[in-house]
Amino acid sequence: MQSSFPTAPLRVTLVQNQAGDNRLANLAWIEQALPSDLATDLIVLPELFACRGSDEQYRAQAEALDGPLSAWLGALAHRNRAWVLAGSVLEREGAQIYNTTLLFNRAGKLASTYRKIHLFEAHLENGTFIRERDLYQAGDQPVLVSIDSWCAGLSICYDVRFPELYRHYTRHGAHLLLIPANFTQRTGRDHWEVLVRARAIENQCFVLAPDQCGANPHTHSLSYGHSLAIGPWGETLAAAADTPTVLQVTLEPERLRATRACVPALAHRRL
């Protein structure tokens, strides 16, 4: 496991939006919601930030990674001289569609991609049935990235229920876990904060978890909101309510050092 710590703080901006089925309107809202004098190192967007709708609309909007949405994301990164973590986009590769995270560097270049490994399935009490494998192909590769001096593990939403993914990241030196989401309101009420804080505590990492809020205009499924930035002790650094908002927080390397020195659990692993 990597023993070094980040060399500088990381200024982070988390966006919680309420995406509808009009991609241009969704992107315009994000642009106006970000402060004009934004000073940040990393902008983190939630899962499906650019569009929520029906499976038919998702199929129609899916595009290759060199498409118009990537161009918009690259321009956002370049304009703000910041890394941009696009929580997820609808990636088309041949006949397959993936739910894919994109990471752009400060120059606006695509630096890394992660395809969602665990595909959500749930029978909710109001009769709603969600099965992502009807639309998406699952990814099969964990992805660690370097964001300045920070080692970060990528994931999306339902992945948060699978702690082995995050333990893999910690074994390989992660300081930061990224969990952009479109968590349902029903599961979010009982599980969201518990799961996000657990991933932080057990891995002694920072966790950034921007979530969607409001209703999908076609399925009427409600997203939970309550985006979170959690410290390695499990402390809440920033939290949203259930409406569109922008959170800003600074991650301090000293919090990692202090947590891992106080309870050296990562050094005590037996399995």
Residue numbers annotated as active site: 47, 116, 157
């998406």: which residue's tokens? 136
Bridge partners, residue 11, by sequence: 250
- Using alpha carbons, list the distances in angstroms from residue 126 to 21, 142, 181, 183, 184: 23, 34, 21, 16, 12
Nearby residues of 235 by Cβ (< 8 Å), 6 or more positions away? none
Closest CA to 208 of 237, 235, 229: 229
User: Residue 73 and residue 78: Cα distance in Å, rounded?
Assistant: 9
- Using alpha carbons, list the distances in angstroms from residue 236 to 165, 192, 245: 22, 13, 17
What sign does the CA torsion over 59, 57, 86, 65 have?
positive
